[in-house]
Amino acid sequence: MSKRELPQIGLRNIKTAISVFLCIVLFQALDRPYPFYACIAAVMCTKETVAITYKASFDRMIGSILGGFMGMILIIISSHINFSTIESFMSGIGIVIVIYMCNLIKRPGACPISCIVLLSITTTAHDSTPYLYALNRVIDTFIGIIITIIINRFICPRESIC
């Protein structure tokens, strides 16, 4: 019977966990609710190298801004319409617009997050002020990105010897 070895826990795994941990701790320290979006950014932007992390983070920032802006616009429009079918249709139109905008500015890597941010706003922001909700989701994402860049840059970056 052959003995199978389990893979080791890698440095990227550890860096991701540290980034998520720091996002949650920072949000608690700032008494800021919902570290969820910062944690998502930390998980999605921790990459194999610092250079890839920067690229993923830039795409994430662009996508968050586009999705946040479009989500805010759609929430404002739908707040004047009482038909849920219209809101669903508008979310679909919003998806088409943000994907088109990402492709137009040649940032296809920003498409998924722009859609996620748009949907997080259009599906959960009904009890909030649209401007503040959209702005807070973008800020939350930026916090996660900044933490991830710092961790991936200064804790044994792949380009260096550890």
Instruction: Spell out the residues 6+ positions from residue 16 whose beta carbon is closer than 8 angstroms to its own.
Output: 42, 43, 46
On whether the CB atoms of residues 56 and 45 are closer than 8 A, the answer is: yes
Number of structural domains in the chain: 1
Residues 83 and 129: their CA atoms lie apart, in Å, by 19
In a domain, 58, yes or no: yes
How many CA atoms lie less than 13 Å away from 95 in the CB half-sphere? 12
Query: Is pLDDT at 161 greater than 70 in this prediction?
Result: no
Q: Is residue 144 part of a domain?
A: yes
User: What tens digit of pLDDT does each residue of 44-101 get?
Assistant: 999 988 889 999 999 999 999 999 999 888 888 877 776 566 778 888 999 999 999 9
Whether residue 3 is contained in a domain is answered as no
- Higher per-residue confidence, 10 vs 1: 10
- pLDDT at 23 (0 to 100): 97
| 160: in domain | no
Residue 63 forms part of a structural domain: yes
User: Is residue 70 in a domain?
Assistant: yes
Contact 64, 137 (CB under 8 A): yes
Residue 109 DSSP symbol: G
Q: Between helices 111-124 and 130-154, what is the axis angle to 10°? A: 140
In sequence order, which residues have a C-beta less than 8 Å from that of residue 140 and are 6 or more positions away?
32, 34, 35, 36, 37, 38, 41
Q: Is residue 5 in some structural domain?
A: no
What does the alpha-carbon distance between residue 71 and residue 58 come to, in Å, rounded to a whole number? 20
pTM score, whole prediction? 0.82
Kindly state whether residue 162 falls inside one of the protein's structural domains.
no
Separation of first and last alpha carbons in the chain: 36
Range of the domain at 107: 11-154
